[in-house]
């Protein structure tokens, strides 16, 4: 499921356009999800958000403990950031010009 940081959202609407389920809307110039249970977890909104205002989070029934997954997209690389509940940050960089090894 995703969670939206209302402080960081500037209401640009990019996530509203991109969501494959038409789940996101703008409410008072801030992104909002109609029903978080309907999120597929595809992370299209996480990748397109220019402000890191949307994160993917594993729900408790999927083994989640509150860590958040953010992404910074650029033409050549996708940089993922995992923010754990104890404040630890883990960065994973995927070079878009390289194929998967498996």
Q: Is residue 20 involved in binding another protein (CB under 8 A)?
A: yes
SS3 (DSSP) at 42: coil
CB 31 within 8 A of CB 54: yes
Q: Is residue 3 involved in binding another protein (CB under 8 A)?
A: no
DSSP letter for 56, please.
E
With 0-12 CB in 10 A as exposed, 13-18 as middle and 19+ as buried, what is 58? Answer: middle
Q: Is residue 69 involved in binding another protein (CB under 8 A)?
A: yes
For another protein, the closer of residues 28 and 99 by Cβ is 99
Q: How many residues bind another protein (CB under 8 A)?
A: 43
Binding site for another protein (CB under 8 A): 1, 17-22, 34, 36-44, 46, 56, 58-65, 67, 69, 78, 80, 82, 84, 90, 92, 94, 96-102
């Amino acid at each position: 499921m995703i969670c939206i940081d209302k402080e960081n959202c500037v209401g640009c609407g990019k996530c509203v356009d991109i969501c494959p389920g038409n789940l996101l809307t703008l409410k008072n110039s801030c992104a909002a999800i109609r029903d978080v249970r309907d999120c597929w977890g595809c992370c299209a909104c996480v990748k397109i958000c220019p402000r890191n205002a949307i994160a993917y989070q594993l729900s408790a029934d999927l083994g989640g403990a509150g860590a958040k997954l953010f992404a910074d997209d650029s033409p050549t690389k996708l940089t993922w950031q995992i923010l754990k509940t104890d404040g630890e940050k883990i960065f994973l960089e995927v070079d878009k010009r390289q194929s998967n090894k498996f």
